[in-house]
Amino acid sequence: SDLYRVDGWGAPYFTVNSSGDISVRPHGTDTLPHQEIDLLKVVKKASDPINSGGLGLQLPLVVRFPDVLKNRLESLQSVFDYAVQSEGYEAHYQGVYPVKCNQDRFVVEDIVKFGSGFRFGLEAGSKPELLLAMSSLCKGSPEGLLVCNGFKDAEYVSLALVARKLQLNTVIVLEQEEELDLVIEISRKMAVRPVIGLRAKLRTKHSGHFGSTSGEKGKFGLTTTQILRVVRKLKESGMLDCLQLLHFHIGSQIPTTALLGDGVGEAAQVYCELVRLGAGMKFIDIGGGLGIDYDGTKSPDSDVSVGYGLQEYASTVVEAVRFVCDRKNVKHPVICSESGRAIVSHHSVLIFEAVSSTTNTCSQELSTIDLQSFVEKLNDDARADYRNLSAAAIRGEYDTCMLYSDQLKQRCVEQFKGGNLDIEQLAAVDGICDSVSKAIGASDPVRTYHVNLSIFTSIPDFWAIDQLFPIVPIHKLDEQPGARGILSDLTCDSDGKIDKFIGGEPSLPLHELGSNGGPYYLGMFLGGAYEEALGGLHNLFGGPSVLRVSQSNSPHSFAMTCAIPGPSCADVLRAMQHEPELMFETLKHRAEEFVHNDEQEKDEELAFASLASSLNQSFHNMPYLATQSSC
Ligand code: PLP
């Protein structure tokens, strides 16, 4: 497990068991040994054909663990409860989940259910997100907040006010100054008293990748001048008591508690000033940013890690708010956070299969090359290079070999382009140069593993912002990997490859794909936040199949509580406005026409039926490769 740092990034939810498989500990540190779930067994059960007792789900597959989600929520609540108690803080913490991190119905419903005992709420940033948050919160805690962020038009504001009428604990957070006029006007028309928050543009700036949200020039929030104008307008409208929440967000993956404390302290000062100006302040909403340790280093210097744990995060926040409020003699506000990444990242694992591997040099074996005739066909310059290369290889001179090898190849390509070298010669020169590279130890040992996956659909942040996630074989971890590889996906796009791994490694230790060793499964971990909604349809590969797995009551077993096959070819075609039913009819007519015109065809009806059925099947199957286990 050391090789893949599983104990670093995986704790307390993932570990390597005695069979060499990844085990999931659904309750984190509270998991008993017999409650561990062997991920390989889950994948087998999910992907085995229905007639062999499996679910027949095709890979790639997202396996969700609601127990992990529950544990994350409870852990977040308990670190804040502890900080509140140990700091002598005189108000409580209540979180909201920003649904944009993962809007999956079951994820949102689970969060509302698991968080209902401690007033957990939801945050929405658009009208559809607001609709889903409203309907989900009907089953949540009545005190759970419904925080309405994002750009707002009259329709958004009206909907948020409808939510308030429905007795959902709704706060409309002003992101733009102009939104205030809409809120005042529409709330009067609808005769509903709004609860208003405002998002402050803090001066504290997070310098990491996600920091563009923060600082004076950040994309969102109100400047100090705008805040003062909002207060004045609310006062003039007799609505200053409606202003109850101060929100800020300094960016995702906040690297250190020093930066966090700085930002929270600044916001607490703004909060106290709003109290002084007469607003009805009750809540300080510190936004998201609680980081994830993707590479297991716990280092703020790593792009994909942070230098603190959950408890340090909560204690820093509570301490910073208490300190400022006590100095200003202001009643402690309820602390709210909008952690997304930290809640949902761990609960889902993306499983995919490596279907083949190739060495990056798949050229002709030297023993099969007729060297004499090869040399005869070379022009004088190329022949000289060949001789120099052979001599340097005999002497074992690395640099000279590399020089003549490059030169020889280049000259041969030129000769080929000029029509003076045949294709067999061109293949032979690759074989010769590769065998010299091998002999002097310069050949590239890294292989390309082809994986049944679309990076654009399932790991879009790797492509877009170089975000690294831990990727690990989910089995064979008791065997030493015999190779190193990069991963290449199914899309026809040169960006569709993963050639950077946690720790900055340019390749991943991987096992040989044996001819009869069965499927080789890899897992991408900690990707439960953002990846699903951001994923696109490049090459029309749709989303993965999804499976929900809970710990069951019987020891060493698990329950599969929901299985949803991924979108079919018809589904993804529909997403681009094609009409699969019409397409099928068009192709069926063509099949009919050609079968009738085909004189070779003895049984036209049977031939037509078989063509139609295979076309129909193609529309209904997922776009991915039908792999060993699922076909
Ligand atoms: N709240 C707001 C306003 C955000 O913009 C974001 C994400 O960028 C979040 C919460 C969630 O942040 P994180 O996933 O880092 O917790």
At 370-411, the pLDDT tens digits run: 899 999 999 999 999 999 999 999 999 999 999 999 999 999
Which long-range contacts link 12-15 to residues 24+ away (Cβ below 8 Å)?
13/65, 13/68, 13/71, 13/346, 14/525
Instruction: Return the minimum-mean-pLDDT range out of 92-106, 221-235, 525-539.
Output: 525-539
293's CB contacts (< 8 A; 6+ apart) are: 8, 9, 305, 306
Ligand 1, atom nearest to 343 Cα? 16
- CA angle 548/104/92 to nearest 5° reads 100
From 76, 103, 249, the mutation candidate for ligand 1 (largest count of ligand atoms within 8 A of CB) is: 249
CA distances (Å), origin 549, targets 232, 563, 567, 579: 53, 9, 20, 34
Q: Write down the pLDDT at residue 548.
A: 97
Which letter does DSSP use for residue 200 in this model? Answer: B
Contact by Cβ (8 Å): 430, 409 = yes
Look at residue 357 and give its three-state secondary structure: strand
Contact by Cβ (8 Å): 176, 200 = no
From 126, 174, 175, 252, the mutation candidate for ligand 1 (largest count of ligand atoms within 8 A of CB) is: 252
The CA 97 to ligand 1 mean position distance, Å, reads 9
Distance CA 203, CA 239 (A): 27
Quick one: average pLDDT of 417-444? 90
Look at the block and give the residue holding tokens 């989940």.
97
Backbone angles phi, psi at 621, to 5 degrees: -80, 160
Nearest CA to ligand 1 atom 10: 288
The CA 361 to ligand 1 mean position distance, Å, reads 44
Structure tokens at 504: 């900055």
Q: Check whether 515 has a pLDDT greater than 70.
A: no
Ligand 1, atom nearest to 247 Cα? 3
Ligand 1, atom nearest to 213 Cα? 5
- CA angle 529/125/564 to nearest 5° reads 45
Nearest CA to ligand 1 atom 8: 252
35's CB contacts (< 8 A; 6+ apart) are: 25, 26, 27, 551, 555
Ligand 1, atom nearest to 149 Cα? 3
Structure tokens at 511: 């096992």
Nearest CA to ligand 1 atom 12: 288
Instruction: Return the minimum-mean-pLDDT range out of 232-241, 557-566, 574-583, 600-609.
Output: 600-609
pLDDT tens digit string along 63-78?
A: 999 999 999 999 999 9
63's CB contacts (< 8 A; 6+ apart) are: 39, 42, 43, 46, 348, 349, 351, 547, 548, 549
Pairing of strands 348-359, 520-524: antiparallel
Distance CA 528, CA 469 (A): 11
Q: Please report, rounded to a whole number, the percentage of residues in the chain having pLDDT higher than 90.
A: 84
pLDDT winner (highest mean) among 243-252, 293-302, 508-517: 243-252
Q: Write down the pLDDT at residue 631.
A: 39
Q: Check whether 477 has a pLDDT greater than 70.
A: yes
In a 13 Å sphere around the CA of 377, the CA atoms on its Cβ side amount to 18
The CA 249 to ligand 1 mean position distance, Å, reads 7
Pairing of strands 14-16, 22-24: antiparallel
From 101, 103, 107, 126, the mutation candidate for ligand 1 (largest count of ligand atoms within 8 A of CB) is: 101
Residue 146: which of 115, 176, 177 has the closest Cα?
Answer: 115
Look at the block and give the residue holding tokens 């640099």.
399
- CA angle 251/254/258 to nearest 5° reads 125
The CA 241 to ligand 1 mean position distance, Å, reads 27
Confidence tier at 217 by pLDDT (50, 70, 90): low
Q: Check whether 10 has a pLDDT greater than 80.
A: yes
Distance CA 243, CA 240 (A): 6
Q: Check whether 1 has a pLDDT greater than 80.
A: no
Contact by Cβ (8 Å): 415, 429 = no
The CA 529 to ligand 1 mean position distance, Å, reads 10
Catalytic residue among 362, 492, 562, 631: 492
Give the number of other Cβ atoms within 10 Å of residue 515's Cβ. Answer: 5
Nearest CA to ligand 1 atom 11: 288
* Residues forming beta bridges with residue 254, ordered by sequence position: none
Structure tokens at 479: 């065997």
Q: Write down the pLDDT at residue 467.
A: 93
Distance CA 226, CA 180 (A): 11
Using a cut of 0.95, tell me whether the model's pTM lies above it. no
Ligand 1, atom nearest to 251 Cα? 8
Give the number of other Cβ atoms within 10 Å of residue 226's Cβ. Answer: 17
Pairing of strands 471-473, 145-148: unpaired
Q: Please report, rounded to a whole number, the percentage of residues in the chain having pLDDT higher than 70.
A: 97
Q: Write down the pLDDT at residue 599.
A: 74
Pairing of strands 497-498, 283-285: unpaired
The total number of residues written for the chain in this structure: 631
> With DSSP H G I counted as helix, E B as strand and the rest as coil, what are the percentages for the chain, rounded to 5?
45, 15, 40
Ligand 1, atom nearest to 199 Cα? 3
Rg value, the chain, Cα: 30
Contact by Cβ (8 Å): 313, 257 = yes
55's CB contacts (< 8 A; 6+ apart) are: 45, 46, 47, 48, 547, 560, 563
DSSP string computed for 284-298: EE--S-----TTS--
**Average pLDDT score over the chain:** 93
Quick one: average pLDDT of 20-45? 96
22-24: strand order across its sheet: 14-16, 22-24, 37-38
Nearest CA to ligand 1 atom 6: 288
The CA 355 to ligand 1 mean position distance, Å, reads 36
Give the number of other Cβ atoms within 10 Å of residue 567's Cβ. Answer: 21
Look at the block and give the residue holding tokens 């499964």.
521
The CA 307 to ligand 1 mean position distance, Å, reads 19
Which letter does DSSP use for residue 501 in this model? Answer: B
The CA 141 to ligand 1 mean position distance, Å, reads 22
Look at the block and give the residue holding tokens 């776009």.
623
Type and span of the H or E element at 264: helix 257-276
Q: Check whether 211 has a pLDDT greater than 80.
A: no
Q: Write down the pLDDT at residue 630.
A: 44
Quick one: average pLDDT of 296-324? 94
> Who lines ligand 1 at CB under 6 A?
98, 101, 149, 249, 252, 287-290, 338-342, 529
Q: Check whether 602 has a pLDDT greater than 90.
A: no
- CA angle 440/442/446 to nearest 5° reads 140
Q: Write down the pLDDT at residue 360.
A: 62
Give the number of other Cβ atoms within 10 Å of residue 405's Cβ. Answer: 24
From 73, 96, 100, the mutation candidate for ligand 1 (largest count of ligand atoms within 8 A of CB) is: 100
Q: Check whether 491 has a pLDDT greater than 90.
A: yes
Burial class from Cβ neighbours inside 10 Å (0-12, 13-18, 19+) for residue 376 reads exposed
464's CB contacts (< 8 A; 6+ apart) are: 534
Ligand 1, atom nearest to 342 Cα? 16
Q: Check whether 629 has a pLDDT greater than 60.
A: no
Q: Check whether 4 has a pLDDT greater than 90.
A: yes
The CA 338 to ligand 1 mean position distance, Å, reads 6
pLDDT tens digit string along 220-266?
A: 899 999 999 999 999 999 999 999 999 999 999 999 999 999 999 99
Residue 434: which of 484, 360, 361, 359 has the closest Cα?
Answer: 361
Quick one: average pLDDT of 573-592? 96
Is 492 a known active-site residue? Answer: yes
pLDDT tens digit string along 459-469?
A: 999 999 999 99
Contact by Cβ (8 Å): 28, 76 = no
Instruction: Return the minimum-mean-pLDDT range out of 204-218, 338-352, 485-499, 563-577.
Output: 204-218
Residue 139: which of 121, 151, 157 has the closest Cα?
Answer: 121
